Structure 1
C-alpha cells in the first residue's frame, strides 16, 4: 500500500531553514521525524529501508528551537506546510540533503483542522472561524499546489447545536460526486481540560458548484469525528472506494469519555453514513483510541490508551501506555499487536506494505526504533534502531 504522507513542522514563522549535516545526494524511501533529547533542533531522519540492520542515510535539522507545531503534508515529491500560527502555506522540496523553500502564500485565517486532496494538484483545506456572533462558520480553501494559488475560497454557515455548544470542530472532509462532505461536532470551554464536546456528530453535504448546504445527517452513537489530520490519520478509503473514519471522544481529543471511540463507514458514491455499520472500539477494549491507518485487506491499525495507567491529561502524553491493535473492518474483531508500550499523543507513526505493519515506537527502556508486525504470521520483530539522541518519534512516512 502506498499512502500519502504528512511531515513535520518548524517553530519559525513561514521561513524554514534546513542546514544539512552531510553534503551528499540521497534518494530515501522513508523519513522519520525526531525530537532530540538535548533540545537540539528537531530533525528528519532519511533512510532507505526499515530493517534492523539499516543505517540512516542522513539527518537534517529542522529549526533552531524545539518544534511546537506539526503541520506538514507530502505529495509527489513536494512538502507543504500549513501554519496555524502564521496562516501561511509554504512549499518545499528535498534536494540532496537539504529542504529548499520554493514558494508561499497567505491564507485569510488560521485554525485549519483538516485537509483532503480534490485531485493531484488541488488541496482542500477546511478551517473553523471564531466570530463574536457565535455563528458556526467553516471556511474552505482550494489551493492549486502546482501554481501555488488559492483558486477558490468559500464560507459555510453550519447551524450550531445549542447555545451551550456552538464552537465548531471540523474533523473530516471528503469530496464525492462534485459534492463536499464534512463531518463535524461542537464543543464548549470547561474546567481543567479546557473543553468538552457535545454528544452529537453532524455530517453535512454541500454542493461544490453553488456552495449551498444540501443535507445534514445527525449521528448520536459517538462524537468528535476525526481530528487535526495534519498531525494524525483518522480516515481512509479502501480498495472499493468506501470511506472509513474514526470518532475520538476520549480525553485526548473530544473529552466526552462517556461516548465510545468508534469506526464508521460511508460507502462509495454515498453522502449518507451507513447507519447499520459501526465498530464500537471502546466496548471491545475498554479504552479510547486515537489514530487509524489502513493496512489493506479490510484491516486497519488503531492506537489506544490504557486508562488505568495515566492519572489525567497532565501525564497522558508522557506515560508509556499506548497499545496498537489490528481491526478487522468486516467482522469487527480487534486483536492486540505485541509491540512495546508507546508514549505520546498525536503521532503519525504507522506504515504498511503487503507483508508488514511498521510502527515507530518510543518505549519504557528509552529505546527508539521501528517495530515490524508480519501480517501473515502475526510475528513481531525489530526494525531500524533510531539514533540514541532521540527523545520522541513523531512521524514515520513513506516518500515514494
Structure 2
C-alpha cells in the first residue's frame, strides 16, 4: 500500500500539467528546459539536431523547477533519483506522455554520484549522517529491470579533521569488482556558504565485502567530480582508462586557490596516476565545471570567466561560460569560438565523434544547439529551441 501511495503522489505531482496532444514523431534527442515566467519545466523531444524546422513535442513536468535536473536516461527508459523524496522512479515515453512504470522507495537521501555497473544495474552513492567522527557513504545497487535493490551497505571512511566534517562524494567507479570512490570534506560558512579542504581522497573498496582496501591522498587539487546526475565529470576512453576532473571553483568546491585539473586512473589500476595532471586553471586562468569525452583522446570542458561575474549570487545568470577542447595526451587546451553561455551545471554536450553538439543559451536570448566539426574545427548552427526557454539544462541522445 505504501508503494502505491508513493506512486499516486508522484503521478499527481509531476504530471498534473495538461499533456501535449499526440504527434507522429520518433525522437532521437531530448532536452530538459527551464522555462521563463515560472512556467513548468519541460522535456522537449526532437528527431534531429540539424534541421531547425524539425518536428518536436514538448511535455510539461512539475513546477518544482530546481529538482528537474535529476533525470537519467538508459536504454529506452528515464529514471529519476530524487534526493528530496528518497524515491527512485522509472518512466517510459508513450506517445506524447511520460508514464511512470515503477517506483522504489529508498532509505536515504543526499545522492551525489552514480555509475552503471552494467546495462541493468545502477550504482548510486549518498552521504549518511556523521557517526562517531566517522564519515559514512551508503551504496545502493539497483536492478532497474526488476526495480529491486540487489545490494546495499554503508562504507565507513576515516574522519578527516575537526574543522572539515561534511563529506562530498564526487565520483564512483566499479572495475574488477573493486568499488572506487573519490571524495573530499567541506565545512559550512555562514548560513548558505561552504568551502572545501585542500585534500582529495581516493578509496578502493572490495565490492563483494565492502572492505576498505586503501586510501590515496591527493593535495594538488580538491573537490573531485560533483553531482554527476546533473553534469558529467568523468569518462573512460577507448582503452578503458578513467579520466576525471576536480572542481574547486566557487560554483562547486569553493576553494578557488586550488586549480581545476584533469587526472587519470589507468585501466586495471587501483591508484590514480601521480605522473598525470592537466592543470586547467594554470593554462586558461579560470576554473571549469564539467567534462565530456568526444573521442580520439579529446575532451570538452566548460569554463567560467572570473572577470565577468561578481560572486556566486550572479554566477548562473551572467553570460560568461566558454567551451574548450582539451588534448588529453599533450595537455593543450583550445578555445572553441562559440557564443557565451549562462547557467551552472549543465549536461548539454553530445558527440557523434564527427561533430560536437553543444546547447547554448546566449546573450541574444537565443537557445540553440551549435555544431563543432572535430576535423575541420568549423562551427555551424543546429536546431533552435523555443523562445520561452530560460535554460537548456540537459541534452540526451535516446537511441
RMSD: 1.7
Residues 335/42 of structure 1: CA separation in 2 closer, same or farther (3 Å cut): same
Q: Do the aligned residues in 2 keep the contact of 1:11 with 1:66 (CA within 8 Å)?
A: no
Can you list the C-alpha shifts for 1:216-266, whole angstroms capped at 9, x where unaligned? 000111000000000000000001100000000000000000100000000
Show CA shifts across 1:163-204 (max 9, x none). 111211000000011110000000111237511101000000
User: Retained in 2: the 8 A contact 1:359–1:371?
Assistant: yes
Match of 1:163 in 2: 162
- 2:222–2:247 Cα contact (<8 Å) kept: yes
Larger RCO, structures 1/2 (Cα 8 Å, 6+ apart): 1
Report the counterpart of residue 299 of structure 1 in structure 2: 298
**Aligned with 1:195: secondary structure?**
strand
* Structure 1 residues 22-52: Cα deviation after superposition (integer angstroms, max 9, x where no partner): 2134310101111111322111111111114
Look up the match of 1:334: 333
8 Å Cα contact 1:11-1:67 kept in structure 2: no
1:191-202 to 2 correspondence within 5 Å? 191=190, 194-202=193-201
Question: 1:3 maps to which residue?
Answer: none
Rounded Cα–Cα distance in structure 2 between residues aligned with 1:22 and 1:67: 26
Is 2:129 the partner of 1:130? yes
- SS at structure 1 position matched to 2:193: coil
SS of structure 2 residue aligned to 1:27: coil
Q: Distance in 1 between matches of 2:367 and 2:23?
A: 26
Instruction: Tell me how far apart the structure 1 counterparts of residues 12 and 80 of structure 2 sit (CA, whole Å).
Output: 11
Deviation at 1:15, TM superposition (A): 5.2
| Counterparts of 2:17 and 2:94, CA distance in 1 | 11
Report SS of the residue matched to 1:284. helix
Structure 1 CA distance for aligned equivalents of residues 10 and 362 of structure 2? 26
Aligned ranges 1:7-86 → 2 under 5 Å? 16=15, 19-86=18-85
TM-score calculated relative to the size of structure 1: 0.94
2:211 corresponds to 1:212? yes
| Secondary structure at the counterpart of residue 384 of structure 1 | strand
After superposition, where does 1:221-240 map in structure 2 within 5 Å? 221-240=220-239
> What are structure 1's unaligned runs of at least 5 residues?
1-9
SS of 2:67 mapped into structure 1? coil
3-state DSSP class of the match of 1:150?
A: strand
CA distance in 1, matches of 2:271, 2:333: 26
1:100 alignment counterpart: 99
Q: Structure 2 vs 1, CA of residues 14 and 83 (structure 1 numbering), >3 Å: closer, same or farther?
A: farther
CA offset digits 1:309-343 (Å, max 9, x no partner): 00000000000000000000000000000010000
1:135: Cα distance to partner? 2.1
Structure 1 range deviating more: 332-341 or 49-58: 49-58
Whole-angstrom distance in 1 between the partners of 2:11 and 2:303: 32
In 1, distance between residues paired with 2:10 and 2:390?
A: 18
**Aligned partners of 1:158, 1:126: CA distance in 2, in Å?**
13
CA contact (8 A) 2:280 2:287 kept: yes
- Relative to its length, the structure with more helix (as a share) is 2
Q: In the alignment, which residue of structure 2 is the partner of 1:272?
A: 271
Question: CA 1:262 to 1:13, structure 2 compared with 1: closer, same or farther past 3 Å?
Answer: farther
In 2: Cα distance, 1:399 partner to 1:208 partner: 31
- Contact 2:184–2:197 at 8 Å: present in 1 too? yes
| Number of matched pairs | 391
CA contact (8 A) 2:14 2:62 kept: no
Q: Distance in 2 between matches of 1:111 and 1:198?
A: 20
What residue in structure 1 maps to residue 152 of structure 2? Answer: 153
Cα distance 1:98–1:327, how it changes in 2: closer, same or farther (>3 A)?
Answer: same
What is aligned with 1:250? 249
How far apart, in 1, do the equivalents of 2:251 and 2:141 lie? Answer: 29
2:5 is matched with none
